């Protein structure tokens, strides 16, 4: 680039004619576009003239075009909208000055001087039709944003007589809210969608579609925007939705990569006053099509002008808005461009005989968890040509691991890698054993590759320094000292930026390793422990309700009013045994399984009594069984139950806590947003020399000896508690992550190894290996029985709630039976004594509702006194009657009488 500028300066000083030619740009001040315009102009020794047009203003666009003509430009490139482009095209057609376009325009005319190197609309629409046929869609919905998008779908809409097509416009409400339109689409039966929208709105639309449930494995999308790959696709990688797009740019092209670097450098040099917009780095996969088309348009036009200048007399234009002249050379350049073929950033640039770019190449791309990859290519002649995906290449053997050799780096971290205990001298891979060693061995058998183990002596997984350089095993992979790395290597986002990982072979999370708490002394009220507090309260409530029910039912039930003198057929009064005191005594006697002298007589009271006995049988049996478990179990005195309690109580209880220095566990607390986790990280960072451990084994030893809680991965904790019976895991997992096999970035073997790992998981081989090295080898399984024992837990309402409901149901049934028995009794008495049924029922109910006294007058025959009257008349003669037995009669007179 410096050479071109130097060469341009020399030509300018020598007054060479074609070096003086100017080219104009009318844009909306896009720094990428302007940088590309400058770079391409200088490469063709043209002098760039840039004019800004920020809004839709056709008159202003006309003024700018005239200003550029006054500068004697030989061509004008316009990137503004259609309303501004039309007046510029009209003046260029009038003055025969070539006008270059790089945007969609479906109103291209055969006449005039306009050249558009954007793909010809009918050809691009045909590409979309071929994609739909390629995916074999029978029905789908077209989602479009504006009329321009609908016109792009013209060829697809012509398929309506064959396919079931629904058309829906995406209308933004309240700014950029498309959810209302998307919800209507979600309610339809279609699962396939063609989405056409501006690139600035595409990410928002996809995010909102994901929020309402349209971005799932059920749905498929074709994105028509050629800049689809430039947006942030990370949130949609794992949605399992089939998202297909098209692009003209090949991000693997060295020519395009250099161009992106030049654009970034040009922005930094020329527009450094706008640092927030002009970045130093422009990733090639973020380069938009318009930027590349601007460079191609200038290159295409400059090549034509240079060829004509070398073959004929080339003169400056003198066609200004203020005169009636035209520039004859303009039509010459225009016609010559129709015959020209140039290899540009967007592929081969070639126009048909009508001046349209109808022959171009497209990549059909698809989004997967690994990113965007090309599944097919398209051109006007051959249509869609399918390409093998990375997974297909693995299946077809192109990326096969068969007979390949790998250097595998690991660490001597048990149980993943250990030196084999043997009396013989071992060499090579035979020196090592462990979970990771066996896993590589199984993968080698499955895929047929060879391997050689090397050991990382310092056991460092890898840390990135302030210069971006990695240490440890990650650094060994990057510097190609090893091909694969396997140990307890956690998959993190930071590490995945440097290397690739297979699918996780083990899922785990961070937890707390602490020594087993001592047993707490028995509680003074330990006899109450078998039941939870709510059960005791409910039991007391049941006892009270059943006692009251017996008292009420005893009064309401006629059968419970008995004759105190069995030898007298027609007593004057009846008595009832269920006083309030007797009812409570009967219930408590049954509950304690001792019984009482009271025996229910009526069906209703017997039903209540039977249900209560059943209730007490279950409750007493449950209490007795759980009491035995509580008496045999000593509850541990746990100082904390989770990480939050540890953070609160550590200082008060004198407990220290830490993690492995520079490990993924420490990074988890460093990057966490939780206030408690930040406090934990601050404590560990502030006391690094005291609480941070160089190795996990050091933390385990210290947790066994001192009041020290050690944060480490749950899989390692499982291994330790199988061998050290005075250690245990406290609390659940603080996060979820996995261990994976690491390899260099963009490794072609990633898919094959990931597939092999999944196969071993499906067959249960990995689980067998874990059981072997965790529970069987090297002292495993010593503490299994102790760890499996669970402390006794009090029974709550969920355990015994059923018996309570049975009691409630039986009591309610007894209530119904009481009223039924009372009605039948009143009916019988009314018929026997010829008394009004209603009147007698009222008198009975009135007496029952008084709830006082256990003596009831007997109902008399018709014409006798009512029970109330009889009670009042004989009240002065009545004496207290015993509940049972006879009152001895006192007879006056001599024994002879």
What pLDDT digit, counting tens, does each position of 600-635 carry? Answer: 888 888 888 888 888 888 888 887 777 776 665 656
What integer pLDDT is reported at residue 878 of this predicted model? 42
CA dihedral sign, ordered 625, 628, 632, 633: positive
Which parts of 153-223 fold into alpha helices (H)? 154-157, 179-187, 199-211
CATH of domain 2-119+254-356: 3.40.50.2300
Q: What is the pLDDT of residue 196?
A: 94
* Res. 732: pLDDT tops 90: no
Q: Could you tell me the pLDDT band of residue 221, with boundaries at 50, 70 and 90?
A: very high
Which of 69-78, 724-733, 767-776, 783-792 is most confident? Answer: 69-78
pLDDT at 223 over 90: yes
Which region among 36-40, 178-182, 788-792 has the lowest average model confidence (pLDDT)?
788-792
Q: What is the pLDDT of residue 8?
A: 45
pLDDT at residue 305 tops 60: yes
Q: In whole numbers, what is the pLDDT of the chain averaged over residues?
A: 81
Domain regions of the chain by residue span: 2-119+254-356, 121-247, 400-509+740-787, 510-520+635-735, 531-632+798-873
Beta-carbon contacts of 209 under 8 Å, excluding residues fewer than 6 positions away, are 182, 215
Q: Rounded to whole angstroms, how far apart are CA atoms 23 and 43? A: 13
What per-residue confidence (pLDDT) applies to 613? 83
pLDDT-derived band at 142 (thresholds 50, 70, 90) equals: very high
pLDDT at 826: 75
| 524 has pLDDT over 70 | no
Element (H, E) at 506: strand 506-508
Is pLDDT at 880 greater than 60 in this prediction? no
For the cut 60, the answer to whether the pLDDT of residue 895 exceeds it is no
- CATH, domain range 400-509+740-787: 3.40.190.10
Judged by average pLDDT, the poorest of 4-18, 223-237, 318-332, 434-448 is 4-18
Q: How far is CA 164 from CA 168, 183, 243, in A?
A: 13, 20, 20
Q: Indicate the pTM of the whole model.
A: 0.51
Three-state SS sequence of 89-117: HHHHHHHCCCEEECCCCCCCCCCCCEEEC
Nearest CA among 132, 198, 230, 227 for reference residue 142: 132
3-state secondary structure 112-159: CCEEECCCCHHHHHHHHHHHHHHCCCCEEEEEECCHHHHHHCHHHHHH
Is pLDDT at 12 greater than 80 in this prediction? no
Beta strands 405-410 and 484-485, pairing class: parallel
Which residue from 104, 115, 100, 86 is spatially nearest to 144, judged by alpha carbons?
A: 104
Cα–Cα dist 476/311, whole Å: 59
Largest CA-CA distance found in the chain, in angstroms, rounded? 173
User: Sorting pLDDT into bands at 50, 70 and 90, what band is 789?
Assistant: very low
Tally of CA atoms within 13 A in the half-sphere of 499 that contains its CB: 34
Token pair in block for residue 636? 């541990």
Of 11-25, 690-704, 710-724, 873-887, the range with the lowest mean pLDDT is 873-887
Domains 400-509+740-787 and 510-520+635-735 share a fold: yes
List the alpha helices (DSSP H) in 341-407.
390-395
In this predicted structure, what is the pLDDT of residue 718? 84
121-247 folds as: Rossmann fold (3.40.50)
Q: Which residue has the higher pLDDT, 398 or 699?
A: 699
Q: Is the pLDDT of residue 371 over 70?
A: yes
pLDDT of residue 871: 46
Q: What share of the chain has pLDDT > 70, as a percent?
A: 84
* pLDDT (tens digit per residue) in 796-855: 556 555 656 766 776 777 677 777 777 777 777 777 777 777 777 777 777 666 666 556
Residue bearing the bigger pLDDT, 144 or 596: 144
Taking domain 510-520+635-735, whether its CATH number is 3.50.50.60 is answered by no
Query: Could you tell me which of 102, 87, 20, 110 has the C-alpha nearest to residue 298?
Result: 102
For residue 104, pLDDT over 70 is answered with yes
pLDDT value for 853 = 59
The pLDDT-based confidence of 77 (bands split at 50, 70, 90) is very high
DSSP bridge partners of 166: 141
| Environment class of 554 (CB within 10 Å of its CB; exposed 0-12, middle 13-18, buried 19+) | buried
pLDDT of 648-674, one tens digit each? Answer: 888 888 889 989 888 778 888 888 888
CA distance 352 to 356: 5
What is the rounded distance in angstroms from the CA atom of residue 372 to the CA atom of residue 180? 29
């Amino acid at each position: 680039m410096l050479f071109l500028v130097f060469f341009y300066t020399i030509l300018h000083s020598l007054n060479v004619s074609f070096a003086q030619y100017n080219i104009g740009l009318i844009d909306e001040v896009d720094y990428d576009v302007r940088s590309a315009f400058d770079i391409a102009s200088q490469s063709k020794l043209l002098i760039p003239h840039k004019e800004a047009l920020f809004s839709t203003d056709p008159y202003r666009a006309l003024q700018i075009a005239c200003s550029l003509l006054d500068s004697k430009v030989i061509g004008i490139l316009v990137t503004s909208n259609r309303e501004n482009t039309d007046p510029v095209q009209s003046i260029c057609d009038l003055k025969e000055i070539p006008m270059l376009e790089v945007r969609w325009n479906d109103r291209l005319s055969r006449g005039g001087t306009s050249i558009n190197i954007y793909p010809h609309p009918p050809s691009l629409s045909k590409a979309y039709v071929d994609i739909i046929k390629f995916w074999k869609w029978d029905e789908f919905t077209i989602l479009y944003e504006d009329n321009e998008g609908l016109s792009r779908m013209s060829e697809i809409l012509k398929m309506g007589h064959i396919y079931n097509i629904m058309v829906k416009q995406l209308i933004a409400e309240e700014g950029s809210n498309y959810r209302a339109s998307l919800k209507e689409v979600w309610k339809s039966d279609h699962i396939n969608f063609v989405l056409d929208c501006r690139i600035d709105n595409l990410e928002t639309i996809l995010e909102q579609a994901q929020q309402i449930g349209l971005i799932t494995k059920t749905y498929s999308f074709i994105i028509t925007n050629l800049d689809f790959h430039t947006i942030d696709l990370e949130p949609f990688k794992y949605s399992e939705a089939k998202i297909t797009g098209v692009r003209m740019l090949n991000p693997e092209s060295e020519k395009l990569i250099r161009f992106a670097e030049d654009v970034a450098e040009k922005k930094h040099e020329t527009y450094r006053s706008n640092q927030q917009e002009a970045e130093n780095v422009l990733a090639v996969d973020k380069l938009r099509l318009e930027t590349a088309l601007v460079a191609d348009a200038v290159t295409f036009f400059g090549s034509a002008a240079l060829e004509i200048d070398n073959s004929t007399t080339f003169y400056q234009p003198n066609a200004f808005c203020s005169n009636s002249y035209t520039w004859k050379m303009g039509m010459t350049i225009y016609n010559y461009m129709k015959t020209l073929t140039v290899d540009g950033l967007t592929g081969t640039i070639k126009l048909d005989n009508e001046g349209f770019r109808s022959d171009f190449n497209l990549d059909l791309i698809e989004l997967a968890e690994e990113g965007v990859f090309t599944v097919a290519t398209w051109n006007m002649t051959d249509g869609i040509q399918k390409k093998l995906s990375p997974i297909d290449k693995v299946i077809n053997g192109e990326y096969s691991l068969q007979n390949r050799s790998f250097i595998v780096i690991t660490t001597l971290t048990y149980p993943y890698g250990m030196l084999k205990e043997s009396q013989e001298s071992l060499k090579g891979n035979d020196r090592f054993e462990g979970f990771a060693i066996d896993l590589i061995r199984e993968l080698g058998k499955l895929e047929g590759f060879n391997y050689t183990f090397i050991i990382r002596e310092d056991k460092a997984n890898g840390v990135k320094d302030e210069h971006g350089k990695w240490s440890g095993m990650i650094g060994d992979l990057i510097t190609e000292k090893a091909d694969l790395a396997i140990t307890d290597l956690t998959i993190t986002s930071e590490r995945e930026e440097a290397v690739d990982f297979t699918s996780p072979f083990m899922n785990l999370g961070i937890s707390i390793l602490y020594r087993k708490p001592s047993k707490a002394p028995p509680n003074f009220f330990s006899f109450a422990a078998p039941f939870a507090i709510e059960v005791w309260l409910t039991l007391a409530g049941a006892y009270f309700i059943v006692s009251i029910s017996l008292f009420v039912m005893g009064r309401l039930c006629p059968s419970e009013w008995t004759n105190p003198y069995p030898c007298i057929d027609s007593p004057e009064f009846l008595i009832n045994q269920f006083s309030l005191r007797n009812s409570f005594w009967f219930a408590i006697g049954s509950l304690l399984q001792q019984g009482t002298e009271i025996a229910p007589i009526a069906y209703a009271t017997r039903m209540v009594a039977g249900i209560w006995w059943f209730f007490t049988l279950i409750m007493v049996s449950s209490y007795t069984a759980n009491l035995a478990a509580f008496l045999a179990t000593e509850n541990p005195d746990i100082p904390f139950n989770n990480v939050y309690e540890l953070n609160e109580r550590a200082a008060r209880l004198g407990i220290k806590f830490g993690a492995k220095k520079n490990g993924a566990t420490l990074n988890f607390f460093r990057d966490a947003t939780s206030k408690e986790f930040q406090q934990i990280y601050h404590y560990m960072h502030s006391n690094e020399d005291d609480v941070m451990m160089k190795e996990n084994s050091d933390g385990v030893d210290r947790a066994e000896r001192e009041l020290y809680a050690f944060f480490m991965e749950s899989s390692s904790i499982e291994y330790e508690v199988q061998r050290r019976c005075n250690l245990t895991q406290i609390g659940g997992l603080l996060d979820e992550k996995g261990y994976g096999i690491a390899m260099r970035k963009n490794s072609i073997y990633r898919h094959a190894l990931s597939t092999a790992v999944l196969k071993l998981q499906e067959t249960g081989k990995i689980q067998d290996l874990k059981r072997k090295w965790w529970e069987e080898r090297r002292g495993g399984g010593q503490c299994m029985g102790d760890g499996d024992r669970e402390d006794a837990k009090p029974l709550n309402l969920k355990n015994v709630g059923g018996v309570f409901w049975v009691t409630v149901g039986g009591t309610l049934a007894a209530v119904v039976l009481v009223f039924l028995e009372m009605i039948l009794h009143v009916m019988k008495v009314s018929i026997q004594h010829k008394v009004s049924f209603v009147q007698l029922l009222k008198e009975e109910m009135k007496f029952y509702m008084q709830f006082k006294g256990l003596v009831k007058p007997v109902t008399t025959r018709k014409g006798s006194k009512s029970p109330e009257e009889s009670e009042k008349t004989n009240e002065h003669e009545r004496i207290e009657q015993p509940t049972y037995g006879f009152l001895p009669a006192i007879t006056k007179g001599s024994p002879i009488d």
